[in-house]
Amino acid sequence: MNNEFDLETLAVRAGTVRSQFNEHSEAMFLTSSFVFENAAQAAARFGGQEPGNIYSRFTNPTVSMLQERLAALEGAEFCVATSSGMSAILACVMGLLSAGDHIVASRSIFGTTVQLFGNIFKRFGVETTFVPLADPDAWEKAVQPNTRLFFVETPSNPLTEVCDIAVLADIAHKSGAWLAVDNCFCTPMLQRPLDLGADIVIHSATKYLDGQGRVLGGAVLGSKQLMEGVYGFLRTAGPTLSAFNAWVILKGLETLKIRMDAHSRNALELAQWLEVQPWVERVYYPGLPSHTQHALAMKQQKTGGGIVAFDVKGGKDAAWRLVDATRMVSITANLGDTKTTITHPSTTTHSRVTAEARAAAGIGDGLLRVAVGLESVEDIKADLVRGLQNKA
Which residue among 15, 61, 85, 188 contacts ligand PLP (CB under 6 A)?
85
> Are the CB atoms for 117 and 152 separated by under 8 Å?
no
Which residue among 147, 160, 206, 242 contacts ligand PLP (CB under 6 A)?
206
Strands 200-204 and 178-182: parallel
Helix (H) or strand (E) segment spanning residue 113 = helix 111-115
Q: CB of residue 391 vs ligand PLP: minimum separation in angstroms?
A: 32
**Alpha-carbon distance 153 to 69, whole Å?**
22
**Alpha-carbon distance 237 to 268, whole Å?**
42
Residue 160, CA distances (Å) to 64, 71, 153, 163, 275 in order: 33, 26, 10, 10, 15
Residue 216 in contact with ligand PLP, rule: CB under 6 A: yes
Binding segment (CB under 6 A) for ligand PLP, from list 51-59, 81-89, 275-283, 357-365: 81-89
Binding segment (CB under 6 A) for ligand PLP, from list 78-86, 141-149, 229-237, 343-351: 78-86
Residue 152, CA distances (Å) to 139, 208, 354 in order: 11, 18, 22
**Interface size with ligand PLP, residues (CB under 6 A):** 13
Cis peptide before 158 (omega within 30 of 0): yes
**Alpha-carbon distance 158 to 362, whole Å?**
10
Binding segment (CB under 6 A) for ligand PLP, from list 96-104, 204-212, 296-304, 356-364: 204-212
Residue 90 in contact with ligand PLP, rule: CB under 6 A: no
Select 180 or 227, whichever has its Cβ closest to ligand PLP: 180
**Alpha-carbon distance 77 to 229, whole Å?**
14
Binding track, positions 147-186, relative to ligand PLP; x by CB under 6 A: ------x----------------------------x-x--
Binding segment (CB under 6 A) for ligand PLP, from list 53-61, 82-90, 274-282, 305-313: 82-90
Binding site for ligand PLP (CB under 6 A): 84-86, 110, 113, 153, 182, 184, 204, 206-207, 216, 218
